[in-house]
Structure 1
């Protein structure tokens, strides 16, 4: 198989703090011998576990980049035992453009793993993580939020895995992150996800959803910043005391696909419940009004398919057929 063209400007084997780039050659109209320069920071202090922490897998999600750009500015190398590789914005072209998918090749990075070394820009980035960075790691944290089209109650999550020992380790790490909610997460389609690739490599993996709407808040940023430290403390890499939320984390589960409500009408969303609300099966959660005409017969009503907590909502008030309207998780 062809070697990946990405070249790191740091030495992953060297102790200390290093700031540099993952340099990906990218010839284009405005730069014949140009490159995409993806920022990377490494903290390494002796032998110990390795953690890989990423944000910006989607370019319109900001809690991860904010927390990790802040983390990368640390100077207390004596607090570390092992190695931490920080990539605040792994999908750097999308992050710069504030878009979910890459403006270069229109690919969703989090749907094309393990990638290809001879593919398009996003496929090359995916391949570098799959074949170079993830194999170095014992613990992997990928920080997400809802981007411009979804909003979530803040949670850390793990998945059901065939290897129950690995599943338990992932759940422990997700709970240690210290978000207000912990979710055993069910994916609509796990094929091509970074999550799936990392878990199939046998790593301890944690993902999050920490808000959304294409922005951030002091509340969600603090959850991310605190969670990054807690994750590394749990991994035995950072010497500090964990900082947990004031209230116990609420445990949630998505036991089947009835947790998802997908829209079958296009129009104007009238929300009837809010994030964090407890609903019962059959409760009205939203009405969809046609924008083409007025009529008392036209609003389509959407009702809760199960008892649980509303953990996700569609953010733009205009919705299309096929969009995710709400997600409801069972409170464990």
Structure 2
């Protein structure tokens, strides 16, 4: 372990992770700033424990403009009692709390992207300090990890729960069992295009059973997407043997993201027009979007072509797109 990781975390918890019952408290991170010389970032946390059993670490707000996870987890923290469960549940509805309160993907303090900041640093930026605390203090406590995501302000997804293909096939199988139990309308074998520094990777490298979601987008949550999140988290706890009762079964359609041909990126800046909607079948070579130049009239749009047959799974949001933005994502039915 590097010298920096031998240093203690500056974050202190106001909850006791070993105590029985329900505790609502904070992860307090000292943060000296212009308006509060001895101020702190106060990240809400709930710990619920009843006897011996597995530990589930449930997180939302890894990106601050994604809301299904926080809705489901603030609700769960308020309503879940120890008598209904065996084991321990650690709930952090908004990991990157500064980003969550600002409604931005990254932290307004240091522009840190929480999901690209692991393993973090105890002497780093605010975002790196939070990541370090999860890396060294919370992840080691967990048996399973559910981290909620959605498209935020710049993407819109079919609502799916996902896990990754892993070298450890037993770990992979356990993750996909929880994906199935979550019961989203779609279930994904997910490919990451940029896995360096991800919370996912940190958890998986520790041998944790890790699952995640993409449950919509557009910088908001709908009744449907929030409902999927609220039902899904309880199903995961039931399947893990923590929450009493049977999993509420529902139909899910399995998808796979096999390679980089799933992704289409904009090479021009302009107004995007989609020629297919999420959930529709598209054919390799078909035009799935046009990017219209906006600097003058009469100019021809640039076409975005599908590089594979598949289901239209995610799209850029809202209507203006920049060169380099992810325009569309396809997946194939399993």
Where on the TM-score scale, by shorter chain, does this alignment land: which range?
over 0.9
CA distance in 2, matches of 1:314, 1:211: 12
Does residue 122 of the first structure (1) align with residue 127 of the second (2)? yes
Structure 2: stretches of 5+ with no match in the other structure: 1-5
Q: Counterpart of 2:229?
A: 224
CA distance in 2, matches of 1:312, 1:30: 41
User: In the TM superposition, what are the counterparts of 1:123-162 in structure 2 within 5 Å?
Assistant: 123-162=128-167
2:270 corresponds to which of 259, 267, 281: 267
Q: Counterpart of 1:215?
A: 220
Q: Counterpart of 1:314?
A: 316
2:28 corresponds to which of 16, 23, 31: 23
1:244 shift after superposition: 2.7
1:241 shift after superposition: 2.0
1:176 shift after superposition: 1.0
Q: Any runs of at least 4 consecutive aligned residues in structure 1 with deviations exceeding 3 A, and if so which?
A: none
Moved more, 58-67 or 168-177: 168-177
Q: Counterpart of 1:302?
A: 304
1:55 corresponds to which of 60, 85, 90: 60
Does residue 33 of the first structure (1) align with residue 35 of the second (2)? no
Structure 1: stretches of 5+ with no match in the other structure: none
- Three-state SS of the structure 2 residue aligned to 1:225 is helix
Deviations 1:52-77 (A, max 9, x none): 00000000000000000000012532
CA distance in 1, matches of 2:214, 2:50: 30
CA distance in 1, matches of 2:202, 2:179: 18
1:316 shift after superposition: 1.5
Q: Counterpart of 1:44?
A: 49
- Three-state SS of the structure 2 residue aligned to 1:329 is strand
Indicate if the aligned counterparts of 2:162 and 2:213 stay in contact, CA closer than 8 A.
yes
1:189 shift after superposition: 1.3
Q: Counterpart of 1:64?
A: 69
1:285 corresponds to which of 278, 284, 288: 288
Does residue 195 of the first structure (1) align with residue 188 of the second (2)? no
1:257 shift after superposition: 0.2
Indicate if the aligned counterparts of 2:22 and 2:81 stay in contact, CA closer than 8 A.
no
Q: Counterpart of 2:172?
A: 167
- Three-state SS of the structure 1 residue aligned to 2:204 is helix
Q: Counterpart of 2:3?
A: none
1:295 shift after superposition: 2.2
Cα-Cα RMSD: 0.8
1:141 shift after superposition: 0.2
CA distance in 2, matches of 1:203, 1:77: 23
Report how many aligned residue pairs link the two structures.
329
CA distance in 1, matches of 2:296, 2:39: 52
Indicate if the aligned counterparts of 2:48 and 2:81 stay in contact, CA closer than 8 A.
no
